[in-house]
């Protein structure tokens, strides 16, 4: 249909469609999130393994290994916090992202995209690290079961992710992560049979937090490819409709006067 309805449907060839698809493309560029995801996965894996080792050492009354594991866990937590909050971490993510996007360059739908996060949201990010460190210590001393760590994590992480999504104005794809993560926690609390075998309790925490994040990032990336395809198609269509010489700045009147 070529009519424009009140639902916001635009006619084919309408320049506003270019703006719409450009915005959707910019909202769905997720390579920077994928770079952050990869770095954080490595650090959290080390933290989880250290917490598991600490718990085992505590049960076996091996205090040397216990304190060594606690020190390793705290060190990696501090490294994660530093990477998340430091300028170097941001520059590293930017450089890798620009390299991966190659010829696509930089795109942003937000005129204030260069500004940093507000202080309260930055503080909340630091609180996220501290919160999980406290949970890891409680797991080490046996106050919290490693198999129940994910629901405790979701209490803080799901609202924090939602706040980030709202502030950054990300696309619909971004809501997949906190939505699935919170739903997974609720299912665990309801006794749903979605746990990993007893020999792999750490996977009950690692797979939801990073698996759902990866799903959301890949969905966003796939949609960005679709949006870019539509954007290129529209610009080619609009360009083909412009009479030859009309966009030539050296031709007075766009070539109309002969």
7-16, 45-54, 76-85, 157-166: least confident range? 7-16
Q: With contact defined as beta carbons under 8 Å apart, do 162 and 168 qualify?
A: no
Is a pLDDT exceeding 80 seen at residue 101?
no
pLDDT for the residue numbered 194 = 87
Nearest to 187 by CA among 164, 157, 213, 154: 154
Domains of the chain, residue spans: 26-90+119-239
Phi/psi-derived region of residue 169, left when phi > 0, alpha when psi is between -120 and 50, beta in every other case: left
Q: Give the chain's end-to-end CA distance (angstroms, integer).
A: 38
Give buried/exposed letters for 126-156 (b at 16+ CB in 10 A, else e): eebbebbbebbbebbeeebebbbbbbbbbeb
% of the chain with per-residue pLDDT over 90: 12
Question: What would the mean pLDDT of 173-202 be, rounded to a whole number?
Answer: 88
Spatial CB neighbours of 122, under 8 Å, sequence gap ≥ 6: 85, 116
Alpha-carbon distance of 138 to 1, in angstroms, equals: 61
Question: What would the mean pLDDT of 56-77 be, rounded to a whole number?
Answer: 81
Nearest to 37 by CA among 202, 213, 180: 213
pLDDT for the residue numbered 27 = 78
Spatial CB neighbours of 193, under 8 Å, sequence gap ≥ 6: none
Is a pLDDT exceeding 90 seen at residue 170?
no
């Amino acid at each position: 249909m070529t009519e424009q309805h009140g639902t916001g449907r635009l006619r084919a060839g309408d320049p506003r469609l270019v703006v719409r698809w450009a915005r959707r493309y910019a909202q769905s560029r997720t390579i920077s999130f994928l770079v952050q995801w990869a770095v954080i996965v490595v650090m959290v894996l080390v933290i989880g393994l250290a917490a598991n080792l600490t718990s085992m050492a505590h049960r076996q009354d091996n205090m040397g290994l216990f304190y060594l594991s606690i020190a390793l866990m705290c060190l990696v937590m501090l490294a994660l916090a530093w990477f998340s909050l430091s300028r170097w971490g941001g520059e590293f993510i930017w450089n890798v992202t620009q390299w991966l996007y190659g010829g696509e360059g930089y795109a942003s739908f937000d005129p204030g995209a260069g500004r940093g996060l507000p202080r309260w949201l930055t503080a909340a990010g630091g609180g996220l690290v501290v919160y999980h460190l406290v949970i890891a210590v409680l797991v080490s001393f046996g106050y919290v079961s490693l198999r129940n760590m994910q629901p405790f994590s979701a209490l803080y992480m799901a609202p924090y992710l939602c706040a980030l999504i709202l502030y950054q104005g990300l696309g619909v794809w971004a809501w997949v992560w906190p939505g699935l993560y919170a739903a997974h926690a609720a299912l665990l609390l309801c006794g749903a049979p979605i746990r990993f075998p007893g020999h792999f309790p750490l996977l009950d925490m690692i797979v939801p937090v990073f698996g759902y994040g990866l799903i959301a990032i890949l969905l966003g990336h796939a949609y960005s490819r679709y949006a870019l395809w539509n954007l290129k198609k529209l610009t080619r269509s609009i360009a083909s409709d412009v009479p030859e010489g009309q966009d030539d700045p050296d031709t007075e009147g766009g070539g109309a006067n002969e």
